[in-house]
Structure 1
Amino acid sequence: MTWLKPSWQSVLAILLCLTAFALGAMTKPEAAALADPTATVAYPYMGAKGLIIGLLLLAALVSMVKLTPIFEAIVLFVGAHAAAWLLIKGIAGFEGTALAPYFLLLAAAWLLAWRCVALLSSLRPNQSVARNALRLIIPAIFGAWILIIWEAVTRGAGIPFILLPPPSAIGARIANSLPILGSDVRQTIFKAVLIGYVVGNLAGFAIAILADRVPFLRRGLLPIGNMVSALPIIGVAPIMV
């Protein structure tokens, strides 16, 4: 069948999706609800589990058909990121309850994103604008997936925030602390570092001129300067602060 061009990422993603579907419950509350059908317990992914698996399967199957690389990359990008967003959105409020299917679907989405990046890396556009765009898009997708996996794993596994907070919590904390950070930057950078940098440069320049022009100072300061220049900055900085 010449119209098929399966990649190992797509095939493995399909297998992971089918395995996740066969295993059943994605979270502990869902497993409890399935064990007791009479219980009316709210659990995550009540209506999104089929959508997540469907998105991943559709993206993987479309990527196995011979299409233009850019169209295939777009399909993979949308499918992988939409599924990842639904996974992270669904686990919010149920941290630490994820079961194996949750992580299998996360791995499937990551594989499709990997395939998307591989396709984008293989493109050789003639326009410089397109080449520059690819140089930004490819590392951006890679970096985004580091954050996505970090967020999904920490929330799904219920890792304590004190050990490894998710990126969203870090971003929220930074956003809420902007006034404090702004005052700290103003005090540290503008009132201490910049002034010290200017004063230090001027003093060093003046001492260098004097050491060059006055033999007495040259004999006394040059050995000290040579000794200090040989010391690593990481060892001198704590002493100077």
Structure 2
Amino acid sequence: MSWLKPSWQGLLAILLCLIALALGAMSKPEAAALAQPEASFDYPYLATKGLMFGLLLLAALASMARLSTVVEALVLFIGAHLAAWLLITGINGYEGTALAPFFLLLAAAWLLGWRCVAVLSSLRPVANWVRTALRLIIPAIFGAWILIIWEAVTRGAGIPFILLPPPSAIGARIAGSLPVLGADVRQTIFKAVIFGYVVGSGAGFLAAIAADRVPFLRRGL
């Protein structure tokens, strides 16, 4: 069909979404709720599951439609990252309960993020500021996905924080320790390193002058 174009990332993302949809429950609490429909269970993604599937499928279809490059990149960016954000925020409080569909949707979002980077890389803007912005945005998206996958896998799989804390926990710990870190930097950098650098450089400078001016020292060198 003339309005379609090849996109293996989009096709694979659709396939992963369909497999996840066929498998059903995205978490253990949801599986328990489906197994006992008469019971009342609280489980993640109760209100956002359909939205996540819709975002990913829409972005995947956009990657295969003959849209303008900017529109395609924008749809891919929003769909992939919003779906990933919903996945991560939804599993909060249910760490370690994620099932296969959770990771399949994460992989689908990552593929669409990959496609977004590929589309942005194909742009050849005329304006210098746009080229500069793209040189910053493309690696930023790549780096963001490392953190997204790290966060989602550690929370979804329930990896103990003592073994591999998620980036959000690391960031929160750093933010909460800024006064201590500031004191350490002041002690290490300003009171030790800079002082040592000045003393060492000054001593070396004086030794060089002495070696140049004193014949005995010059002969020793």
TM over 0.5: yes
The one-letter amino acid paired with 1:178 is L
Question: Given the alignment of the two structures, is residue 66 of structure 1 paired with residue 49 of structure 2, yes or no?
Answer: no
- Residue 25 of structure 1 is matched in structure 2 by 25
Please give the alpha-carbon distance, in whole angstroms, between the structure 1 residues aligned to 2:131 and 2:157.
39
Q: Secondary structure at the match of 1:160?
A: coil
Q: Which amino acid aligns with 1:186?
A: R
Partner of 2:99: 99
Distance 1:206 1:66, change over 3 A: same
Shift of 1:211: 2.1
- The 2-side partners of 1:164 and 1:215 are apart by 62
CA distance in 1, matches of 2:206, 2:74: 61
What's the counterpart of residue 109 of structure 1? 109
Cα-to-partner distance string for 1:54-81 (whole Å, 9 max, x where unaligned): 1000111122110111110000000000
Distance (whole Å) between structure 2 residues aligned to residue 179 and residue 209 of structure 1: 43
SS in 1 for 2:188: helix
Q: How far off is 1:217 after superposition?
A: 2.6
- State the distance in 1 between where 2:87 and 2:138 align: 23
Find the counterpart in structure 2 of residue 210 from structure 1.
Answer: 210
Q: In the alignment, what sits opposite 2:88? A: 88
Q: Which amino acid aligns with 2:160?
A: P
Which amino acid in the other structure matches residue 40 of structure 1? S
Q: Deviating runs (4+, > 3 A) in structure 1?
A: none
SS at match of 1:44: coil
Q: Identity rate of aligned residues, in percent?
A: 78
Q: Is 1:45 matched with 2:41?
A: no
In the TM superposition, what whole-angstrom CA distance separates every residue of 1:15-63 from its partner, at most 9, and x where no partner exists?
Answer: 0000000000001111111111111110001111111011000111122
Bigger shift: residues 145-154 or 202-211: 202-211
1:123 maps to what in 2? Answer: 123
Partner amino acid for 1:139?
P
Distance 1:105 1:219 in 2: 74
Partner Cα separation in structure 2 for residue 218 and residue 20 of structure 1:
79
> Is 1:145 aligned with 2:145?
yes
For residues 182 and 9 of structure 1, the distance between their equivalents in structure 2, rounded to whole angstroms, comes to: 45
> Which consecutive unaligned segments of at least 5 residues does structure 1 have?
223-241
- CA deviation after TM superposition for structure 1 residue 215, in Å: 3.8
1:191 is matched with: 191
Deviation, 1:208, is 1.7
Gaps of 5+ in 2: none
- Write the deviation string for residues 184-236 of structure 1: whole angstroms up to 9, x where unpaired: 1111111111111111111111112222333433455x4xxxxxxxxxxxxxx
Q: Does 1:177 align with 2:177?
A: yes
TM-score scaled to structure 1, two decimals? 0.89
Identify which range, 54-63 or 79-88, moves more after superposition: 54-63
**Structure 2 SS opposite 1:43:** coil
Shift, 1:119, TM fit = 0.5
Q: 2: CA distance between counterparts of 1:119 and 1:212?
A: 63
Partners of 1:43 and 1:54 lie apart in 2 by 20
